[in-house]
Chain A
C-alpha cells in the first residue's frame, strides 16, 4: 500500500486479515452499487446464453440503452421524492399530458400559425413542456408541502386528472408527425452521435472521472485528511474509464441498417461500396440526455444544499425543521424537479414514437418507482442514490427486453418483474438487518 508522505492514511488492514471487505473499504465505493452491477451482469449473461447469443449484441444493447433512458430519466427525480418520504404516482399521466402538449405545439399550433418545420419549433415545444412540467409538479408539490395533503393522495389525484385531461382534449386522436429536429430526441441511427462524437463524449467523460478523482484527492490533502491509497485511486480511475470506453466501443459497433445506409449514400452522392457502407451508430441522443440528467441530478443530490436538505428531511424530518431547513420549500422543489424530468422523458418518448397517443406513459409510474427501489431507494426515507436508480432502470428494462427476446408473453413478464422487485427489496432488507447487528 503506497502512502503519500505527510498524509494520515486510514488505518491499514492487517495483512493476514485482509478480506474482500477490507479491500472494498479501501476503495470507499458503494458496495451496493457493485452488487447491482454484478446482478445486471448475471441477467445479461443468462439471457445471452438462453437466447443463443442474441442478447449481448451491439444492436440489442443499443436498443436497451434507448429503452432504459426515459424510465431512468424519471427515476432520478423519483429517488429524491422517495428519499424525502413522499411518492409521485402521477408521473405516467404527467408524461402523457406533457408529451401530448408538446406534440400539439409542434404538430398543430405552431404549424397552423407559422407553418411546418420552423427552425425553432423543437426548442419552443421542449421549453414549453419543461415549463409546464415544472408548473404541474410545483402545483402538486405545494399541495403536499403547504396543503398538508399526503403525497400519495395528491399524486393519485394527479394520475387521474392529467390522464383525464388528455382524453378530454385529444378525444382519442393520435397526433403525428413530429417536427424533424424534435424527433432527434428519440434516438435511432440518425439521432445518435456517430463514431467520432461518441469517442469525444467518451473521452470527455474519462477526463471528467480523472479530474474528479484528482481534485477530490488534492482537496482532502490540503486539509490533511486521510485519503484513499494511491493504488485504489488509480484502480477506480482505470475501471471507470474502461467502462466508459467499452460502452462507447459497443455503441459504435452497431452499424446503420443497410437500407438507411443506402438512402444516406444516395442522398450524399456516395458510391455504394463492395462490402456495404458501415456507419457506426454511436451513443443515442436520449442516452446522452439520460447521462446529462443523471450527472446534473447527482450533483444536485450530493453537492448542493437542496439535495442535502432532501436527505436530511428523509433521515429525520424534525431534525431538519429544527436545523432551520425550509422543509416545505425543499419538498416542493423535489416535485418541481420531477415535473421537469417528466417533460424531458415525455419529449424522448414522443420523439421515439413520432406521435402522441392517448395512452402514452400509462402505468410507467410503476416502472419508475421500481427502478428507484431496485436501485436501493428506501421507502423509510433518507436513503437512495441516483446512479443506483439508473442502474435499476437498466435492470428492469433488461429483464423485459430479455424476456421479449425469448418470446415470453406479457403476463409472464409482469409476474417475473414483480417477483424480482419484491425479492430484490427483500434481499436488501435482509442484508441491511444483518449488517446493522
Chain B
C-alpha cells in the first residue's frame, strides 16, 4: 500500500491514548470511479462503530482495505497508533483483524472445522493436518455460538443460512481477534439468530474488542453501535455519537449527506 501524507482534520491522538484503529485519508478507485474518497475513521477498543450508508456508499470498499481484501490506493492505517501495511488478508489477520464478510466467504465443499481454520490449519509435528484437534476446537467455539450445531462431518454447503453464519463468526472469533469487521452480519438471519448475533456483539465488545459493524439496518446500528459513521457516494458525511442523535438525523445524513445541525423540519418530513 502506498502511503501519502494526506492532510486530515482528524485530531492527533494524545500520546498513550491512540485509538485501536485509525484509517486516515483512505482512497480507493476502480478505474476512474472513486469508490472511497479521502475517508478517515477511528475505532477504539471496546467500542462498536456502525458504518452506514446507502448502496454504493463505499462502506464495504472502505472496510475491505482494512481486511486486506482490496488494499487502498492511498491513505494510512494505524493500529495502536503505529502505521501498518495491509496488502493482503494474511497481513490483516496477523494484526488481529478478523472479518465476517457479507458473502460469508466459506468454501462450500469443506466441513465446518476446515472453514474455521482455513488458511490457519493446525498441524501435527509431521506437518500433516490435525483434523481431530481442529474439530475439537471448532466444537468448543461452536458450542458457545450455536450449541445445537451438530453437523461437523458434512460440508458447509448442506448447512442452513444461520448455521453457515455461525461458522463464519466462529472463524472470526476463534483466533482472539482484537478488531472485528462485521459486514451485514444479520442480513441472512431469522429473528432468533439475529438476537444471538446481537448478544454476541455486546459480549465481544465487553471483552474489549473493537468492532466495525456495517449494516443497512438502522435499528441494528442504533442498538449496537456506540458511534455511527455515515458515508455517501464514497465520501465521509460524518461520525456521530449515538447518544446525541436521533434515527431521523442519521437517516438525513445517509440520504442527504446533511449533518444533524443542518437538518430542518422540512428535511425530516421529506424522509417520511
A residues neighboring B (CB under 8 Å)? 28, 219-220, 222-223, 225, 299, 302-305, 308-309, 311-312, 314-316, 318-325, 382-383
Contacts and interface: CB of A to CB of B under 8 A. Distances in A.
A320 B136 CA distance: 22
- Interface size on B, as a range, is 20 to 34
Given A311-B107, A322-B105, A324-B90, A299 B128 contact: yes
A315 B109 contact: yes
B132 A223 contact: yes
Contact of A220 (B105, B107, B129, B132): B132
Contacts of A308: 110, 114, 118, 121, 129
B119 A324 contact: yes
A309 B90 CA distance: 14
A4 B123 CA distance: 28
B93 interface: yes
B118 A318 contact: no
Contacts, number: 83
B107 A315 contact: yes
A304 B128 contact: yes
Contacts of B93: 324
B12 to A, nearest CB: 33
A312 B101 CA distance: 17
Nearest to A221: B132
Interface of B: 67, 69, 88-90, 93, 99, 101, 103-110, 114-115, 118-121, 123, 127-129, 131-133, 135-136, 139, 153
B118 A312 contact: yes
A220 B132 CA distance: 6
Given A223-B136, A312-B118, A320 B128 contact: no
Contacts of A304: 127-129
A327 to B, nearest CB: 10
A316 B156 CA distance: 12
Contact of A311 (B110, B131, B153): B110
A322 B121 contact: no
Contact of A316 (B67, B105, B120, B129): B105
A319 B129 contact: no
B132 A325 contact: no
A324 B106 contact: no
A303 B69 CA distance: 27
Given A305-B121, A323-B89, A324-B88, A225 B135 contact: yes
Nearest to B157: A315
Contact of B69 (A315, A322, A383): A322
B109 A222 contact: no
A312 B105 CA distance: 11
Name the 3 nearest CB pairs between A and B, nearest first: A315-B109, A315-B107, A382-B109
Instruction: With a 10 A CB-CB cut-off, give which of A319, A320, A383 has the most chain B CB atoms.
Output: A319
Instruction: With a 10 A CB-CB cut-off, give which of B67, B99, B120 has the most chain A CB atoms.
Output: B120
Nearest to A299: B128
Contacts of B115: 319
A320 B132 contact: no
A320 B129 contact: no
Contacts of B139: 225
Contacts of B109: 311-312, 314-315, 382-383
A318 B129 CA distance: 22
Nearest to A321: B89
A303 to B, nearest CB: 4
B240 to A, nearest CB: 31
B38 to A, nearest CB: 26
Given A315-B109, A322-B101, A303 B132 contact: no
Contacts of A28: 153
